[in-house]
Structure 1
Amino acid sequence: MIPIPLEFIRSMARQPVRNYIAPGLSSYIIGAPHEGGCVRLFESEREQQFAITPHSHRFDFHCLVLQGRVTNRLWRKSTAGDDFVETKLIFDSLGKYKRGATEAVRRVSHDTVYSAGQGYAMKAEEVHSIYFGRDTSVLFFEGPNVLNTSVILEPWVDEKAIETFRVEPWMFQKETA
């Protein structure tokens, strides 16, 4: 494999969104987006300090870690797992969602760490959390939508759901040039 210099990829980056879902995590579109999917560059300038609510996507994707490391936590259904409420999310626009139907589920997690030169892929219906290390760059190949909704997992404790999914005002800040 011929390595593509990170600076070359960054030279094609546009439409920056700061604090994408975590402080210091930026997303950039590489090339022209279209209905068949897109390519993004995710860059984290700092160590991620808190968990992102476990979630699925509406599309399949492949990732290539260019620099740094990520920990991908997969959440699989298991009778031995913890109790969660799985809620369907209906996408409106970047950072805007509507909650849909819910279901009680049990899930267990498994972490895999990926470093520079390694890649991973996920199907739309798989649920995960992702943790970015400091100075990490990931090329994210987003496929076309295959589902109309995604899901989130929120803990079920003391006979109630603990709502951990939030979109804060500091998230999804579009930069203007």
Structure 2
Amino acid sequence: MTTALPDLRDLDMESVLEHSYKDYHVKGFDYLCLHRSEGLTLKAYFFEGDVQNASEVVNPHNHRYDFHTTCLSGAVENRWYRSYPFGFNGDTRPQRYNMFEWRTPLNGGGGFTLSGEITLQNYRAMQCSRGEGYDMAADELHTIQILKPDTVLLLVQHEDVVPVDQPTLTFTQSVEPPDLSGLYNKFTADQAVKRIEQLKSLTAG
């Protein structure tokens, strides 16, 4: 399988440790940053524990950038959402959501701020197993469900199209925003090396 990975034997470990996080967004979701620049970021997501049993890993949201996801192991379902106009030909029923502006604390932001309500519809889903993937534009709304244990995803993230000082959006059916307590923990060097070795085994050949 061909992947857009740097040489894993020659990573800048100082940069990897600076930009990588355990329990990223939710418990059991690890984010390993392999390369980071203004125009291109390469990162791997690892899912284990309770996150594998959740109906959604995170709430529906948009992004600051366009990106491509490739499944390296396990399986994932990507779900797209839209606001009005809705479709009703086999599409799911539209539902009300609370809309939160999200300014990530990792960029000095204050987290979630409630900004109103909106009706959204999950109108499309795609399941991907090893070697398969999907593209997302920054303004598209989505979430994912992990379908198999030990799923690993590779993301190729392009340059920001939403400035860092502008919020992205997250949508919840709860009146409360997602709980951030206990999240965004740092890797030790040994933990990062273990994840890198896991990637090597998945991308060999």
Settle same-fold status: TM greater than 0.5.
yes
> 2:94 maps to which residue?
81
> 2:139 maps to which residue?
125
Give the direction of change, closer, same or farther, for the CA distance of 1:45–1:17 in structure 2 (3 Å limit): same
Runs of 4+ in 1 over 6 A off after TM superposition: none
Structure ranking higher in strand proportion: 1
Compute the displacement of 1:112 (Å): 1.8
Structure ranking higher in helix proportion: 2
Compute the displacement of 1:101 (Å): 6.5
> 2:195 maps to which residue?
none
> 2:59 maps to which residue?
53
Matches within 5 A, 1:131-170: 131-132=145-146, 133-147=148-162, 148-155=166-173, 162-169=175-182
* 1:68 and 2:110 are equivalent in the alignment: no
When the two chains are superposed, the root-mean-square deviation of aligned CA atoms in Å is: 2.7
CA distance in 2, matches of 1:99, 1:25: 20
Give the direction of change, closer, same or farther, for the CA distance of 1:10–1:142 in structure 2 (3 Å limit): farther
Give the direction of change, closer, same or farther, for the CA distance of 1:95–1:9 in structure 2 (3 Å limit): farther
Given candidates 125, 128, 131, the residue that maps to 1:111 is 125
Whether contact under 8 Å (2:98, 2:114) holds in the other structure is: no
Compute the displacement of 1:27 (Å): 1.0
CA distance in 1, matches of 2:110, 2:53: 24
Aligned positions, number? 167
Give the direction of change, closer, same or farther, for the CA distance of 1:117–1:174 in structure 2 (3 Å limit): same
Task: Look up the equivalent residue of 2:117 and give its one-letter code.
Answer: A
What SS is found at the alignment partner of 2:104? strand
Render the CA deviation track for 1:134-172: whole Å, top value 9, x for unaligned: 1111110111111132101122xxxxx622422121x11
CA distance in 1, matches of 2:47, 2:8: 15
Given candidates 177, 184, 203, the residue that maps to 1:172 is 184
What SS is found at the alignment partner of 1:55? coil
Given candidates 44, 52, 61, the residue that maps to 1:41 is 44
CA distance in 2, matches of 1:22, 1:97: 17
Runs of at least 5 residues in structure 2 that lack an aligned partner in the other structure:
87-92, 190-205
Compute the displacement of 1:92 (Å): 3.9
> 1:22 maps to which residue?
26
TM-score, normalised via structure 1 length: 0.79
